[in-house]
């Protein structure tokens, strides 16, 4: 497995263990977009263009989920598996 470097906001929470509740760490979306993010970002790798940093909450959130259109938000929640727990198997290490 090759190492990849992603830039994470300094105030972001640590990545939870796989299967635990999402805490908005952003690791999964910064590493690669989900299927819906591929459409929005127009790329298969790299950070998702829909990912947003929430300054007040000090976490990342999907910008597609927070839209004002309920049907779009419902679709986004399904495609990112909201409420299913962390499914990122990425191992996070601090920069040297």
Read off the pLDDT of each residue in 17-46 and give the average, rounded to a whole number. Answer: 90
Q: Residue 92: name the closest of 5, 12, 2 by CA.
A: 5
Distance, CA of 75 to CA of 30 (rounded, Å): 20
Domain ranges of the chain: 27-77
Task: Quick: pLDDT tens for 43-76.
Answer: 998 899 999 999 999 999 998 887 677 888 888 8
Indicate the helix (H) or strand (E) that contains 28. Answer: helix 27-31
Does residue 16 have a pLDDT over 80? yes
Query: Which pTM was predicted?
Result: 0.84
pLDDT of residue 35: 85
DSSP conformation letters of 29-53: HHH---HHHHHHHT-SSS--TTEEE
In the predicted model, what is the mean pLDDT of the chain?
87
pLDDT of residue 89: 85
């Amino acid at each position: 497995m090759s190492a990849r470097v992603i830039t994470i906001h300094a105030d972001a929470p640590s990545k939870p263990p796989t299967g635990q509740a999402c805490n908005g760490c952003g690791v999964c979306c910064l590493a690669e977009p989900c299927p819906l993010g591929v459409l929005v970002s127009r790329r298969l790798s790299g950070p998702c263009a829909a990912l947003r940093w929430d300054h007040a909450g000090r976490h990342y959130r999907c910008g597609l989920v927070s839209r004002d259109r309920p049907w779009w938000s419902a679709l986004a929640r399904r495609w990112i598996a909201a409420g299913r727990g962390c499914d990122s198997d990425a191992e996070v290490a601090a920069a040297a």
